[in-house]
Amino acid sequence: QKEVEQNSGPLSVPEGAIASLNCTYSDRGSQSFFWYRQYSGKSPELIMSIYSNGDKEDGRFTAQLNKASQYVSLLIRDSQPSDSATYLCAVNILNTGNQFYFGTGTSLTVIP
């Protein structure tokens, strides 16, 4: 079982809608959670980090963490065509060093 699971998609939403991206993780020692955006042919770009249960908002992005359910999500409000990309969830697990474990990513398409 992989440490981090994501629905590969593709997920399609109309422009202006809310896109919801989900990620589950298996290790209860996971302590830090990150969302990256990766455009085709480019490297991952950090969007947000979240460390505590609850919501964290940054502009149009909201990360939600529920450690009891081992679940982290990313909401993108007012989705734009430029948000079309693959979104990677990453976790750091306590006592396994500073490496990140990544999911396979969810492909998002925002339709104009």
Partner 1 sequence: GAGVSQSPRYKVAKRGQDVALRCDPISGHVSLFWYQQALGQGPEFLTYFQNEAQLDKSGLPSDRFFAERPEGSVSTLKIQRTQQEDSAVYLCASSLGGTGDFPYEQYFGPGTRLTVT
Interaction site with partner 1 (CB under 8 A) = 4, 31-32, 34, 36, 42-46, 49, 51, 88, 90, 92, 97-105
Asked whether 8 and 105 are in contact (CB, 8 A), the reply is yes
Rounded least distance, CB 49 to partner 1, Å: 5
State the Cα–Cα distance between residues 12 and 80, nearest whole angstrom.
12
Cα dist from 18 to 14, 21, 28, 86, 110, whole Å:
9, 10, 29, 16, 10
CB 93 within 8 A of CB 30: yes
Instruction: Choose between 49 and 70: whose C-beta lies nearer to partner 1.
Output: 49
CB of 10 to partner 1, least distance (A): 12
Closer to partner 1 at the Cβ: 76 or 91? 91
CB of 28 to partner 1, least distance (A): 16
Distance in Å, CB of 12 to partner 1, minimum: 18
Place of tokens 């699971």: 5
**Between 62 and 103, CB nearer to partner 1:** 103
Amino acid at 15: E
